[in-house]
Amino acid sequence: MQKKFLMLAFMVLLFINVNSVFAYTDTEGHWAEKEINKLSINGIVTGYKDNTFKPNNNMTRAELITVINRILSNNVQNTRYIPDIKEKDWFYVDIRKGVESGFVTGDSDGSIRPNDLITREEAICMLQRALVPQSEELFVASFTDYDSVSKWARESLNTFIANKYISGYKDNTFKPKNYITRAEVVTLISNMVDTFVSYGELNGDIYGDILVNGNNVSINNAVIHGNLFVTEGGANLSLNDIIIEGDFIYRIELNIPNKNFVVNGKIANIKPQEIIDKSVYTNSQFGISFSIPKGAKVLEEQKKNVNYKSKNLITIRINHNEDLYNDSFEAGSARERYRYSIPYKKIQQGMIDYYKYVLFGTEDNT
């Protein structure tokens, strides 16, 4: 009897502990309470150490990138140079994962602006690139402030409207430049995905949109009444005798069965390829990257028969910090200009990690 009582007490204690993890002190009665609990239980979002979720707080770009990475369960980091992150930053790994997965593109100089608050239109662009192919439906603007949506965000917004992931505000506005809140983010994601599956077997009739992001998942003899998303984490997904009533959207190479696999909607592999921005100069040897004027060419070494007064030419000199002990960087740069008879002015210099660079060009390059 005592043993039975102890087991019961342990089970009650376990139940309380598991559920108290997501019993935030500031979400009860909030309009997004259900969505917050859903994503918390699935490990997509987390609260703060004081047991709050702060649903009305805004979210930074790094925070949203981290949330999307949890959805995708991606582990590969991009190795390209990113000028505004350092290895000591808490978001360093997540930024590199997001860039590799293709839903983060950055600015013209490669910057991610991780600590900036993220706007509603920026958030929708990231989420759309991560999970949904762009809609091909003819779109009629429904928001009264649609003209204020940035052109680069319109296709993503159109896709969200077409899929009924977003409805805007009661006054029929979208407010694209407003910073998005934590509650709004979890609501968007919850609208996109009904069920997250990280392990186990699914069969029979399955209702809603399903996202597989776990390594040991199998779907057998099943009818999915909705969309099926497969992310990087679902690389080992096993599919047998499947009917998908909606779309089949995947971000990785999968062994798709040749028979007994029916998709009534669209089939789309949506992992985007990283776009190489030709307006950015990158020196992979030294890890230096910066934006350059459109059409400009960077010359790294002295060459004959070069018009150094050309309006589209920039020369660069790179030094390692250790070299600065014995050679003044400014003096070295001046000697180099004199040695190569470069008559144009210094237009930019900077320090990136252990390397310092200086650029020379005509006034038209500035």
Q: Is the pLDDT of residue 344 over 50?
A: no
Give the range among 109-118, 226-235, 334-343 with minimum mean pLDDT: 334-343
How much is the pLDDT for 317? Answer: 60
pTM: 0.71
Tokens of 161: 């409207």
What confidence category does residue 10 fall into, taking pLDDT thresholds of 50, 70 and 90?
Answer: very low
Q: How many whole angstroms separate alpha carbon 238 and alpha carbon 217?
A: 7
**In this prediction, what percent of the chain has a pLDDT beyond 90?**
55
Q: How does pLDDT run across 72-93, given as a tens digit for each residue? A: 999 998 877 788 888 899 999 9
Average pLDDT of the residues in 300-307: 59
In terms of pLDDT, which residue wins out, 69 or 136?
69
Q: How does pLDDT run across 101-117, given as a tens digit for each residue? A: 999 988 877 889 999 99
Average pLDDT of the residues in 157-178: 93
Domain boundary assignment for the chain? 21-192, 195-269, 280-365
**In this prediction, what percent of the chain has a pLDDT beyond 70?**
67
Helices (H) and strands (E) in the chain, counts: 8, 13
Q: Which helix (H) or strand (E) holds 357?
A: strand 355-361
Longest CA pairwise span in the chain (Å): 97
Average pLDDT of the residues in 239-257: 91
* Cα angle: 312, vertex 317, 318; to 5 degrees: 130
Q: How many whole angstroms separate alpha carbon 324 and alpha carbon 357?
A: 12
Distances (CA, A) of 33 to 28, 57, 71, 185: 6, 14, 19, 12
Q: Is the pLDDT of residue 26 over 60?
A: yes
Spatial CB neighbours of 96, under 8 Å, sequence gap ≥ 6: 77, 78, 79, 82, 85
Distances (CA, A) of 121 to 117, 166, 175, 180, 362: 12, 12, 8, 9, 38
Q: What is the DSSP letter of 269?
A: E
Q: Is the pLDDT of residue 312 over 90?
A: no
Q: Which helix (H) or strand (E) holds 183?
A: helix 182-192
How much is the pLDDT for 253? Answer: 84
